[in-house]
Structure 1
């Protein structure tokens, strides 16, 4: 049991607001995930449906008052979406870079075969003369034709048609070289630099995340790819640094946009002049081109605005929760007490169960509320220590019930500091006629306080 105490109140409304903030952040992360995924064609309808179902599950947790579980699961889901998109981008970039290199090798192989045919005096198939303008099937057919022309013939020129037919039958089932076979014979190290392949893969990752930033480097990537001079290694190193820097900026910008979108969603749920003003600023910024620094500054401003609004509402909710709870427990609460608490820093509630006693509530609800038993008596009246202890003990029991009520509704009443029953004398307030105690509180004028 305890006497005077300092408590911290967390209301159901506060916890719901926190959970709604988590859901808003998750929705913003999902929208970014979906936007990048669709643009690069690396998510399909089923992927999106599954992600949306997980967001719906967060809403179900909120509806079922599973606040702690939601606050644990939502950040994990946000982290998953970010990691999942990075993995998808890496896989897609690797495939794109691999296909690009395969295309280059195919062109080199076609050129080599065309030169070999030309040197032997054979007519070069059109697809080998200009391999970049034909399809894969056309190029494969041309390669097969070219190999057939270059293949040495062991049959004498004077053979008959019947002999050619027999030779063809004997050759049935033999493997014929394909474009893939030809490419496999081309030694990659002779024409490809692993560092260049890594550079192109990283460039593709940047292009998937931010096409506009990547476009500024596309010409340099092409020049480095075709460069065969001694400067190539230095050019690769320089470009790799620039790609990495652009990737960091693009990632920072994407993260900042997700945060700002989450702030925007939360502010839209709060109808106040401050939130409306902040939303207008956010809208202006998002509708134009913005830097990471500008986004960061707006996030800081929006966060401060949102926290101020939340704290103001929380202060009001905390006052209401305490007053409503004590009213249910038999303490007299009338209209205007919350205003009196704000103006005077404290209010006194008369106990309807124990005449001559009540409870004083004071302090800022956002930092700590002080609660203590008080007695109504003139300073000259003798103190009844036994009655004081009994009143403190009774209020201690009421306080435990108040804690349970707040917990049942999803809130919390935490004791920050408490003194034992009887440790200090019960605070005396000059006797006021019973019909004036509540009126005095309602008018915002606290009774005169005297310590005995």
Structure 2
């Protein structure tokens, strides 16, 4: 086939960029999965070995395997993300169980302290753990069990349960709030609803592995509120909003940091020591959400533009060199128009009736090449001449492919038409013939 063609030219530089880009993203996905598993004691030998082997497999591929890399690595990253989500769900389930245990223990602790005050029973004070771990919860439970036994013995020495002991059991079975609130106030529907919202938010913070110091600070703030004050509900609402805003902001910060980290790794694959990189890395440690989002967007755009510009420039040089070696003329003005307009028309002879039009987007990701005819010389053409020119172009493009292959370039033909299947496009070729015709017309008028 020798009609219009849509082709993709893949340069060695582009193949290297493709490999570096996808291996960088694969390495990031692997490290994120490994770090999460290690931090949560889920990294066993098989998982660690599997992650290492995955990277090793793709790292061995050469830049000539770029099509395989483009197809398989994104699928592998998608699989890793799914596996990470499974790990996160497992950890979330365990942390949910730990939080529920903590809530129950702290609620019981609050009730026992209130009961000791009501009965004027001296107890050895102890605090809830500031950090929630299984070992801390076990210690806390032991302390509460001992306190319960002490109060039970102090309230009644008889075998039968007293009214106070029955009341104690009833209060514990209701699962009242873990937050310290006056008993009668905590039973009001509006207050109970607010307390549940706050507890749910604190639980979300813990399950998502946010700062336990922050969680404790919010619990302490709640404990300082006076439930007898008229503004208690308003103060509680303010606390709920603060907790929810912190949670939302923290989750967004994590996502923005991941986005920026990934983009910085991609920029590193470009192989240059860009001065701004140190400043952008610092933003990962201490920046506002707005600053992180803006920097992440800049990093993404910088990598995209820089890599695409490098690829496009390499393609443009390759096409220009191959066309010139095949006998086509390209001057500086034509190159400028090609860059600005995405269109280049070349000829072998200055007075040729036909030329070749190359059209492409700015990044030259796909190139349409077709034979065109001089719109000012339609009377010199015929269907057979048009078809013959397209067949000649077929020989030329085969020659161009050979020239590119000799320099390790590759041409992938995405689409082609039969010669004569589509009428030739007519364009002004500014040929010598046209120039001579214009001069003749000027002389006749004079």
Same topology, TM > 0.5? yes
Deviation at 1:283, TM superposition (A): 3.2
Distance 1:48 1:343, change over 3 A: same
Q: 1:206, 1:142 → 2: CA distance?
A: 29
Q: Report Cα offsets for 1:158-204 as digits up to 9, x if no partner.
A: xxxxxxxxxxxxxxxxxxxxxxxx87872325555576355335325
Partner of 2:219: 221
* Structure 1 position 332 matched with structure 2 position 326: yes
Distance 1:18 1:77, change over 3 A: farther
Partner of 2:440: none
Alignment gaps of 5+ in structure 2: 129-138, 161-167, 179-191, 339-343, 438-446
Q: 1:112, 1:218 → 2: CA distance?
A: 21
Partner of 1:99: 101
- Contact conserved, 1:374 with 1:427, CA < 8 A, in 2? yes
SS in 1 for 2:274: helix
Partner of 2:335: 342
Q: 1:58, 1:17 → 2: CA distance?
A: 18
Partner of 1:277: 275
Partner of 1:7: 6
Q: 1:403, 1:183 → 2: CA distance?
A: 87
Greater CA radius of gyration, 1 or 2?
Answer: 1
Distance 1:203 1:373, change over 3 A: same
Partner of 1:262: 262
Deviation at 1:418, TM superposition (A): 9.7
Q: 1:237, 1:58 → 2: CA distance?
A: 54
TM-score by length of structure 2 reads 0.61
- Contact conserved, 1:362 with 1:371, CA < 8 A, in 2? yes
TM-score by length of structure 1 reads 0.60
The CA RMSD over aligned residues, in Å, is 5.5
- Contact conserved, 2:355 with 2:371, CA < 8 A, in 1? yes
Partner of 1:247: 247
- Contact conserved, 1:278 with 1:305, CA < 8 A, in 2? no
Aligned residue pairs: how many? Answer: 383
Partner of 1:59: 58
- Contact conserved, 2:202 with 2:243, CA < 8 A, in 1? yes
Distance 1:132 1:238, change over 3 A: closer
Superposition map of 1:6-405 within 5 A: 7=6, 9=8, 11=10, 14=14, 17-18=17-18, 20-28=20-28, 31=31, 41-46=39-44, 49=48, 52-53=51-52, 56=55, 59=58, 65-70=67-72, 72-73=74-75, 76-77=78-79, 79-80=81-82, 83-84=85-86, 87=89, 90-108=92-110, 110-111=112-113, 129-130=124-125, 132=127, 136-137=141-142, 140=145, 150=156, 152=158, 186-190=172-176, 193=192, 196=195, 199-206=198-205, 211=210, 215=213, 218-224=216-222, 229=227, 233-272=233-272, 276-286=274-284, 289-319=286-316, 322=319, 332=326, 342=335, 345=338, 346=344, 360=356, 362-363=358-359, 366=362, 369=367, 371-373=369-371, 386=384, 388-396=386-394
Partner of 1:165: none
- Contact conserved, 1:10 with 1:412, CA < 8 A, in 2? yes
SS in 1 for 2:369: strand
